Amino acid sequence: MKKLLYILLTFLPFQLSAQQKLSGIVNDEQGKPLDAATITISQQGQVISSQLADQGRFILTGLNQSPYQLSVSLMGYKSVIRTFNLPKDSLNLVMLNDSRQLREVAVTFTKPTVERKTDRVVFNVEKSILASGGTAWDALSKAPGVKTTNDGGVTANNKGVTVYMDGKPVRLSGDDLAAYLQSIPSDNISKIEVMPNPSSKYEAQGGAVIEIISKKIKSDGFNAGLSGGYTRGQLNRYTGSGIFNYRKNKLNIFGTYGYSDRNIKRDLDQYTIFQRPSSYAYWDMNRTSIAKNKVNNYTAGADYNLTDNQVIGVLVTGDNTVSNGSSTATTNIYNNYHVNPDSVLNTNSNIGGHTNQYSFNLNYKAKLDSSGRGLNVDLDYVPYTRNNNVQLHNLTYLPDGSLGSAPYHTFFPSVQKINIWSGKIDYNYKAGKRWSMESGLKYTSSVSENQFDFYNTAGTVPVFDPSRSNQFRYTENTAAGYTSISGAFGRWNFKGGIRAEYATSKGLSLSLDSINVNKYLRIFPTAFVTYKASENDEFGFNYSKRIDRPDYRQLNPAKSYLTPYSYTSGNPFLKPAIINSLQLSYTLHQNYTFSLVYTRIDDLASNVTVQDNVNRTFHDTQQNIGSIKELGTELSSVHHPAAWWEIDNTAQGYYSRQSSDQPGNTYNYRRFYFYLRTDHAFTIDKNSGLKAEFSAWYNSAVQQGTLLIAKTYDISTGISKQVFNKQGTIKFSAADLLYTNPYRISIQNEGQNNGMYQKNDTRTFTLSFSYKLGKSVKAARQRVTASEEERKRVN
């Protein structure tokens, strides 16, 4: 049996790093700490991790007792290379001044595309050809374990997520989330970190956390970088971006700008079967839609060092989107199994609008002593405004070409305004010699105002219809506190924490004359434990409890009409979902990771359809669909068959049981589904910087509530070449070559029988170019602001 296991492992190259730690400090000849020195750790010629020294100090994790090579580099100093074995208390490194004027810095070690750590998977976007030249949204879909949908849905390891951008939450959802991330060129992104079970320091919102970290110019003086890309799908898409940094003495000023012009064509086939004992009708709709978005995205910030241990900073971000779109739909209606349609609906719509979102942050950070005590304070204000104007025109024709009913012409403008105020304080400290602790407090207040008006424009003068209009106000206040502790004892490593959140919310619909008030106090524990049984065997355990609050779009009851007989709306009475996750893992020979995962989700808010077979109407709304229990296994690795070849493999399989006792929406499903992915990176010519990538994944059919989502798969490839003395890079990639990544769902439950098939213009070809000016020395400071949670739910 043991031999069989090793044979199987030979063909399934899965890997996880071990968990010993090593700290160190980098000084110059006078003993002064050297900030932002690049620390790179490698083993057998393969890079394990890389980081920048913080005030000369660094901590390396995920190590074992095998020999390692550590290299330290910093402009103006001679590189240091050391070989060492563990266990070892610490390293004290001295860098000598290099008076020679260097024309070029040769990089000996490079980061891998994917790094697997104890609590997260790191996808280094800047190393990926397939993720470059597009947008942050495109890069997100390339991260291991992350799945995106055409309507802005994002999941990681089959959980809903909270998306962060440089420590701040992207408080958007659905199409707005996709539009925002599509405004950010992927060439401005450094890496994406996926955390299936985040620690207590992170907000309890969301089943998982995805952190998108942007690039920073790292040199003293003034520096800049430029990039641009052209993508061809069915229509054209363009991206362009710039980044700058000015650093001198105690002052650092930095900023970015990105522009995106995206034109996307989608083809949708949708059917609905209205069936009763005495009648049968088949509605077959074909729709073509074109979405045009022009987005300006920018950041500007400054940091000033009050002392060597204190810094104060301001950060402003903005996102301005202008949207235009149109769609043309034809619905053929077949009654009682007729071969020819009994009537035809022609529906045309035009959509125009703009979205403005800003974020203002004030930050103070202090290092209180050399033991690690530190203080961080953030104050944030996030205003958000969205205006939409939709014109809908419908004509119904009979077989003889005459009008079957009066023309249906409507106009419904909508305005959404959200204001979010938040503040937080974090404190790091030591408890004895073994324990590191962190505690914090946070308070957030948000107000959402939504106005939706409905006008009948069939006549010469628009007529306001109050019965179909809606005014909705939602307020939410949350106070939170957390404490986490970590330490190591011999072969054991511990990290645990607890977070408490008290939330009050009120949803007021003036049109429906309804008020929904919620108040609750909940505790969210987390625990991480690893045990190294031997040189080749390591066991791990982690547990987390989290909450998934509905976003504002899901709560808004306003009806958005797609045809005279169908619309979408939210549900102001939704409850937050509670997520419990448990994971046991085993690491063998530092190459293979086997994980057993159990997840339970109660009161998940999800899309549900409501089909009226009597009046032949159809609408999509939101509902808490019941409970989901999943038991699964995950296998993953980063493998190197040769020095020029890197492979990252992921395999996930789950057995899912879902049940609901909601009136009109009861079910009890038991299904198995799986996800497979393999990514290959090839260094064709190291000297000239010629590289290639290949990626393939397969996602089996999966059930979510009453929705059965069909299988999808994808094959993509790309190639890149460094130019202009390796300061510039040209990349070409081809995504979804076989055009096999559509969105197909079907519903058959309690009188409902409908489905859709949508192709989302995913087969694309991208040509991009990026150019950097200056040489990296010192990174611009990153911060986690107080608004890091709230922006996620904006719509």
Among candidates 661, 684, 687, 657, which has minimal Cα distance to 670?
657
Name the stretches of the chain with pLDDT < 50: 1-19, 100-109, 775-781, 787-795
CA 529 vs. chain centroid, Å, equals 26
Residue 481: predicted pLDDT:
94
User: Cβ contacts of residue 172 below 8 Å, gap of 6+?
Assistant: 152, 179, 180, 357, 791, 792, 794, 795
3-state SS, residue 562: strand
- Look at residue 109 in the predicted model and tell me its pLDDT: 46
Q: Any bridge partners for residue 2, and if so which? A: none
pLDDT tens profile 428-482: 988 877 788 999 999 999 999 999 999 999 888 999 999 889 899 999 999 999 9
CA distance 198 to 207: 9
Q: Give the span between the Cα atoms of 492 and 176, in whole angstroms.
A: 44
Tokens encoding 653? 């399989």
Identical fold between 20-105 and 252-669+727-793: no
User: What string of DSSP letters covers 420-461?
Assistant: EEEEEEEEEEEETTTEEEEEEEEEEEEEEEEEE--EE-SSSS
pLDDT of residue 500: 94
DSSP 646-687: EEEEEEEEEEEEEEEEETTEEEEEEEEEEEEEEEEEEEEETT
Nearest Cα to Cα of residue 788 among 156, 164, 160, 154: 164
Cis peptide upstream of residue 550 (ω within 30 degrees of 0): no
Rounded Cα distance between 378 and 375, Å, is 10
Give the bridge partners for 546, in sequence order. Answer: 579
Most distant CA atoms of the chain, gap in Å: 94
In the prediction, which pLDDT does 120 show?
79
Q: CA geometry: angle at 676 spanning 674 and 682, to 5°? A: 175
d(CA 55, CA 62): 22
788 vs 201: CA distance, rounded Å? 12
Half-sphere exposure of 716 (CA within 13 A, CB side): 30
Residue 527: how many CA atoms within 13 Å on its side-chain side?
Answer: 10
Q: Are 302 and 313 in contact (CB under 8 A)?
A: yes
Tokens of 276: 């009763």
Task: Check residue 139 and give its pLDDT.
Answer: 83
pLDDT of residue 111: 65
Q: Can you tell me the distance from the alpha carbon of 678 to that of 17, in angstroms, rounded to the nearest whole number? A: 19
Quickly tell me which residue has 């690690």 as its tokens: 372
CA distance 104 to 108: 12
**CA separation (Å) from 596 to 11, 16, 233, 540, 585?**
20, 14, 40, 10, 6
| Residues near 296 by beta carbon (within 8 Å), at least 6 away in sequence | 183, 257, 258, 259, 318, 319, 320, 321
* The token pair that represents 783 in the structure block: 């911060």
Angle, CA of 162, 421 and 160, to the nearest 5°: 10
Distance between the two ends of the chain, CA-based, in angstroms?
Answer: 54
Distance CA 239, CA 218 (A): 23
Distance CA 694, CA 715 (A): 8
Side by side, the strands of the sheet bearing 68-73 are 46-52, 38-43, 68-73, 80-84
Torsion of CA 34, 37, 42, 46, to 10 degrees: -170
Rg (alpha carbons) of the chain, rounded to whole number: 27
Structure tokens at 699: 């996602």
3-state helix, strand, coil in the chain (%, to 5): 5, 65, 30
Please, what is the Cα angle at 25 between 23 and 27, to 5 degrees? Answer: 170
Cα–Cα distances (Å) from 205 to 477, 577, 788, 789, in that order, read 14, 10, 11, 7
Edge-to-edge strand ranges of the sheet holding 560-563: 560-563, 566-568, 617-624, 605-612
Give the pLDDT score at 107.
40
H or E stretch covering 131: none
- Decide if 84 contacts 62 (C-beta within 8 A): no
Query: Domain 20-105 adopts which CATH fold?
Result: Immunoglobulin-like (2.60.40)
**How many Cα atoms are found within 13 Å in the side-chain-facing hemisphere of 460?**
0
Residues 6+ away with beta carbon under 8 Å from 744: 709, 710, 712, 755, 756, 757, 758
**Distances in Å between the alpha carbon of 611 and those of 285, 618, 651?**
16, 5, 37
What residues contact 415, with CB distance under 8 A and at least 6 apart?
A: 385, 386, 387, 388, 449, 450, 451
In whole angstroms, give the CA distance from residue 120 to residue 202. Answer: 13
Rounded CA separation 628/533 (Å): 34
Position 686 scores a pLDDT of 83
pLDDT at 423: 93
Chain-centre distance of CA 341, in angstroms?
44
Report the alpha-carbon distance of residue 605 to residue 571 in Å, rounded: 10
* Domain residue extents for the chain: 20-105, 252-669+727-793
521 strand-pairing partners: 502
DSSP symbols for 356-386: EEEEEEEEEEEE-STTS-EEEEEEEEEEEEE
Q: What is the 3-state secondary structure (H, E, C) of 193-223?
A: EEECCCCCCCCCECCEEEEEEECCCCCCEEE
> Which CATH number describes the domain made up of 252-669+727-793?
2.40.170
**pLDDT at position 502:** 94
Tokens 């999943």 sit on residue: 630
d(CA 122, CA 219): 24
